[in-house]
């Protein structure tokens, strides 16, 4: 299987966060005796920092359920590293269901309250992606 993930951070954090993301993915399936091939490039460069775009390749296992469990495990370990180390849980791809659990870590209580307030103001009937980013 192959998947990608991306984040962004400030310049002083790029090397550290990149290393932590790659390490989390490389070791993410060790308990299964599996290796994960990981490689990264900087895809968007800004004055303040850069995006970190990581691709990883691994064996899916013997069933759909095993493949989904492995993907979920790798997504979880990498997302936790990003959220806990000053990366944004999303860059240009948006947050969506896959990253929503880590949004409160990045935004904090005040940021989440602001998002809820904006959603209530601009979408008072809750028609736009209900339950995706904000708890119902």
Q: Are residues 136 and 100 in contact, defined by beta-carbon separation less than 8 angstroms?
A: no
> Tokens 């209900």 appear where?
130
53 is catalytic: yes
Which residues, in sequence order, are CB contacts of 120 under 8 Å at separation 6+?
Answer: none
CATH 3.30.300.330 fits 2-94, yes or no: yes
pLDDT for 36 equals 98
State the 10-residue block means of pLDDT for the chain, 136 residues long: 96 98 98 97 95 97 96 96 93 82 91 93 90 76
CB atoms within 10 A of CB 115: 16
pLDDT for 7 equals 95
pTM of the model: 0.88
**In the chain, ranges of CATH 1.10.45 domains:** 95-136
**In the chain, ranges of CATH 3.30.300.330 domains:** 2-94
Name the architecture of domain 95-136: Orthogonal Bundle (1.10)
Q: Are residues 99 and 89 in contact, defined by beta-carbon separation less than 8 angstroms?
A: yes
Q: Which of 46, 53, 56, 58 is catalytic?
A: 53
């Amino acid at each position: 299987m192959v998947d990608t993930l991306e984040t962004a951070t400030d310049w002083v954090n790029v090397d550290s966060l990149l290393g932590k993301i790659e390490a989390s993915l490389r070791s993410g399936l060790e308990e299964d005796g599996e290796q994960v091939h990981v490689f990264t490039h900087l895809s968007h460069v800004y004055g303040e920092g850069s995006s970190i775009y990581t691709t990883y390749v691994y064996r899916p296992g013997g069933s759909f359920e095993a493949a989904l469990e492995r993907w979920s495990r790798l997504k979880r370990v990498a997302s936790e590293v990003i959220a806990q180390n000053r990366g944004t849980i999303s860059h240009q791809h948006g947050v969506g269901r896959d990253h929503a659990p880590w949004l409160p870590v990045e935004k904090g209580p005040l940021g989440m309250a602001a998002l809820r307030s904006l959603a209530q103001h601009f979408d008072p009937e809750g028609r736009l992606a209900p339950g995706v980013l904000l708890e119902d």
